[in-house]
């Protein structure tokens, strides 16, 4: 059996917000903020995960012409450069290849348009078609999303080529029936409110309401559908205790190491038998 070809997709601006590839202050001690991508690259080289998957490319959607993205990536830039910070070490390799040489920009330029702009739906559709073209060029069997700040639509609809071939690693429990459920882009901040016995009910105003006290958080690997972190869960880990004094970055560091990396790793192990194909097999068909 051949290895499944894996393509990784992220938003650099999300990694930059996490201070990926840098040291952060963790209650007075510097700790290195390893990104999920860096963890995966190392796992492919040092664990049996590398027998199941080959990393074919890393796609990012950040837009060099977006003023917001320029601000978000002021410290990092839009591509690796020896004189700037970057989200992983410059010598990071996966299965013998330099990861920085595997980067592919597919800008989500439609985000520059106002939310109510008539041209925005067509722009979103054009972005997803460009993303599809890149996945086909890279011959992707499976796609891992990590902090992609875009909700996919056409790529993941039932009947689409990549339906149930795209999974997301999320820093929160996404099972709706769980008392620890935290979905969306602000799951870590929501968890910090939870340990105070509050829950955010309006993210625009940051209004909170009383809620049951939540002292733990975790991470989920789940299929991507048209909702916000609403796809079927492949594997999740509830392994992170929340200290009420945690900063967002301190809790992110804890959650990455205690829950997210294990959820990503074990979830991919469970997924592998469903996506590995004999040499020459088509990527057509459903999982």
List pLDDT tens digits, range 108-121: 999 999 999 999 99
Q: Over the stretch 157-202, which tens digit does the pLDDT of each residue have?
A: 999 999 999 999 999 999 999 999 999 889 999 999 999 999 888 8
The alpha carbon of 236 is separated from its chain's Cα centroid by a whole number of angstroms, namely 14
> What is the reported pLDDT for 284?
40
The predicted pLDDT at position 37 comes to 98
Query: Which residue, chain included where needed, has tokens 């013998």?
Result: 96
pLDDT value for 285: 38
Q: Is the per-residue pLDDT at 130 higher than 60?
A: yes
CB 166, CB 155: distance < 8 Å: yes
Structure tokens that stand for 94 in this block: 């996966």
Interior CA angle at 162 toward 157 and 168, to 5°? 90
Note the pLDDT of residue 200. Answer: 86
Lookup: tokens for 241: 């205790």
pLDDT at residue 287, rounded to an integer:
42
Q: How many CA atoms lie within 13 Å of 153's alpha carbon, on the beta-carbon side?
A: 9
Query: Closest by alpha carbon to 222, among 257, 183, 189?
Result: 183
Q: Which own/partner contact pairs does 280-284 have at CB distance under 8 Å and 24+ positions apart?
A: 281/2, 283/139, 283/140, 283/141, 283/161, 283/165, 284/161
> What percentage of the chain has pLDDT greater than the value 90?
87
pLDDT at 269 over 80: yes
Taking the CA atoms of 10, 11, 16 and 17 in sequence, report the sign of the dihedral they define: negative
pLDDT at 277: 53
Q: What is the pTM (predicted TM-score) of this model?
A: 0.93
Q: What average pLDDT does this structure show over 248-264?
A: 98
| Angle in degrees, CA 43, 168, 24, rounded to 5 | 60
Residue 41 confidence (pLDDT): 98
Q: Say yes or no to pLDDT of 32 above 50.
A: yes
Rounded Cα–Cα distance for residues 218 and 201 (Å): 20
pLDDT tens track for 62-106: 999 999 999 999 999 999 999 999 999 999 999 999 999 999 999
Answer yes or no: is pLDDT of 280 > 50: no
pLDDT at residue 1 in the model: 59
């Amino acid at each position: 059996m051949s290895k499944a070809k894996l393509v990784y997709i992220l938003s650099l601006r999300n990694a930059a917000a996490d201070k990926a590839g840098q040291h952060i202050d963790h209650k007075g001690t510097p700790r290195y903020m390893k990104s999920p991508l860096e963890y995966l690259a190392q796992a492919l080289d040092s664990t049996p995960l590398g027998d199941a998957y080959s990393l074919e490319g890393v796609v990012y959607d950040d837009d060099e012409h977006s003023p917001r993205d320029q601000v978000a990536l002021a410290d990092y830039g839009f591509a690796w450069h020896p004189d700037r910070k970057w989200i992983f070490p410059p010598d990071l390799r996966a299965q013998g290849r330099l990861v920085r040489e595997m980067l592919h920009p597919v800008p989500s330029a439609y985000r520059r348009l106002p939310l109510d702009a008539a041209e925005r739906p067509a722009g979103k559709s054009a972005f997803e078609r460009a993303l599809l073209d890149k996945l086909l060029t890279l011959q992707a069997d499976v796609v891992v999303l990590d902090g992609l700040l875009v909700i996919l639509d056409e790529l993941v609809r039932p009947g689409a080529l990549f339906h149930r071939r795209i999974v997301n690693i999320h820093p929160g429990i996404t099972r709706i029936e769980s008392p620890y459920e935290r979905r969306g882009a602000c799951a870590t901040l929501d968890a910090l409110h939870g340990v105070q016995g509050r829950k955010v009910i309006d993210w625009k105003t940051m209004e909170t309401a009383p809620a049951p006290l939540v002292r733990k958080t975790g991470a989920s690997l789940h299929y991507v559908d048209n909702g916000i972190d609403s796809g079927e869960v492949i594997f999740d880990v509830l392994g992170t205790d929340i200290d009420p004094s945690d900063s967002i970055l301190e809790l992110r560091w804890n959650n990455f190491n205690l829950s997210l990396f294990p959820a990503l790793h074990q979830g991919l192990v469970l997924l592998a038998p469903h996506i590995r194909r004999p040499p020459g097999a088509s990527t057509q068909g459903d999982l």
